[in-house]
A and B are shown apart, each in its own frame.
Chain A
Amino acid sequence: MTKPLLVLLAWMVGIGAWAQNDPASLSVGYFAPYGIQLGGKLGASFQVGQWPQENEATAERIHKLKIQPQVGYFTYPQVQHNFVLNCEAVYLRTRPGRRFTPLASVGLGYWMARQRQGGSVNLGSGEITYDVENLHYITPTLNIGFEIAPKKVIGYYLKGFAGRKIGLGEPSAGLFGLEAGLTFQLTKKDDTNDTGRVH
Chain B
Amino acid sequence: MTREEFIKKSLAMGIGLPFLTSIIAACEKEVIEFPEFSTSFSGKVLVIGAGASGLAAGYLLSRYNVDFEIIEASPVYGGRVKRASNFVDFPIDLGAEWIHATPAVLSEILNNPELDASIDFITYNPQTLKGYRDGRLQPHNYASNFYSEIKFKSTTWFGFFEQYIVPHFEDKIIYNQPVATIDYSGSKVAVTTIDDTVYEADKVIVTAPIKILQSDTISFVPALPAAKTEAINSISMGDGLKVFIEFKEKFYPDLMVLGGLIEGLANDNEIFYDAAFRKDSNRHVLGLFTINEPASKYTTLDSDQAIVDAVMEVLDDIFEGKASENYLQHVVQNWSKEPYIQGSYSYTFDNGQEETVNTLNEAVNNKLYFAGEALSLENQATVHGACESGYAAVGRAIGQ
A interface with B by C-beta (< 8 Å): 33-37, 76-79, 115-128, 130, 165, 170-176
B15 touches A78 (CB 8 A): no
Given contacts A117-B122, A121-B118, contact A173 B142 (CB under 8 A): yes
Min CB distance B119 to A, Å, is 6
Residue from the list A115, A116, A173 in contact with B141, Cβ < 8 A: A173
Min CB distance A91 to B, Å, is 26
Query: Hey, which chain A residues are within 8 Å of B123, CB to CB?
Result: 78-79, 115-119, 130
Which residues of B140-181 have CB atoms within 8 Å of chain A's CB atoms? 141-142, 144-146, 148, 153, 164
A127–B104 alpha-carbon span in the complex (Å): 7
Interface centre among A35, A77, A126 (most CB of B within 10 A): A126
Query: Hey, which chain A residues are within 8 Å of B27, CB to CB?
Result: 77-78
Residue from the list B20, B103, B127, B142 in contact with A128, Cβ < 8 A: B103
A126–B112 alpha-carbon span in the complex (Å): 10
A121 touches B119 (CB 8 A): yes
A174 touches B116 (CB 8 A): no
Query: Hey, which chain B residues are within 8 Å of A121, CB to CB?
Result: 103-104, 106-107, 118-119, 121
Query: Hey, which chain B residues are within 8 Å of A165, CB to CB?
Result: 142
Residue from the list A35, A37, A124, A175 in contact with B15, Cβ < 8 A: A35
A190–B15 alpha-carbon span in the complex (Å): 44
Min CB distance B383 to A, Å, is 15
List of 8 A-B pairs having minimum Cβ-Cβ separation, nearest first: A126-B107, A173-B141, A124-B115, A118-B122, A126-B104, A121-B103, A174-B142, A171-B127
Query: Hey, which chain A residues are within 8 Å of B120, CB to CB?
Result: 118-120
Min CB distance B140 to A, Å, is 8
A12–B241 alpha-carbon span in the complex (Å): 56
B23 interface hit (Cβ, 8 Å): yes
Closest chain B residue to A174 by CB distance? B142
B110 interface hit (Cβ, 8 Å): yes
Query: Hey, which chain B residues are within 8 Å of A77, CB to CB?
Result: 23, 26-27
Closest chain A residue to B30 by CB distance? A126
B interface with A by C-beta (< 8 Å): 15-17, 20, 22-23, 26-27, 102-104, 106-108, 110, 112-123, 125, 127-128, 141-142, 144-146, 148, 153, 164, 278
Interface centre among A34, A121, A176 (most CB of B within 10 A): A121
Closest chain A residue to B103 by CB distance? A121
Query: Hey, which chain B residues are within 8 Å of A175, CB to CB?
Result: 142
Query: Hey, which chain B residues are within 8 Å of A176, CB to CB?
Result: 142
A88–B354 alpha-carbon span in the complex (Å): 51
A130–B125 alpha-carbon span in the complex (Å): 14
- Number of CB contacts from chain A to chain B under 8 A: 103
A130–B104 alpha-carbon span in the complex (Å): 12
A172 touches B141 (CB 8 A): yes
Interface centre among A76, A78, A130, A174 (most CB of B within 10 A): A78
Given contacts A120-B118, A123-B115, A123-B164, contact A36 B106 (CB under 8 A): no
Query: Hey, which chain B residues are within 8 Å of A37, CB to CB?
Result: 145
Apart from the given pairs A76-B148, A124-B114, 16 other A-B contacts in the complex at a CB distance below 8 Å: A78-B123, A79-B123, A117-B278, A118-B278, A120-B121, A122-B107, A122-B117, A123-B112, A124-B116, A126-B104, A128-B102, A170-B127, A171-B128, A171-B141, A172-B141, A176-B142
A123 touches B119 (CB 8 A): yes
A175–B20 alpha-carbon span in the complex (Å): 18
A123 touches B118 (CB 8 A): yes
Min CB distance A118 to B, Å, is 4
Residue from the list A33, A118, A172, A174 in contact with B121, Cβ < 8 A: A118
Min CB distance B339 to A, Å, is 33
Closest chain B residue to A77 by CB distance? B23
A123 touches B110 (CB 8 A): yes
A35 touches B112 (CB 8 A): no
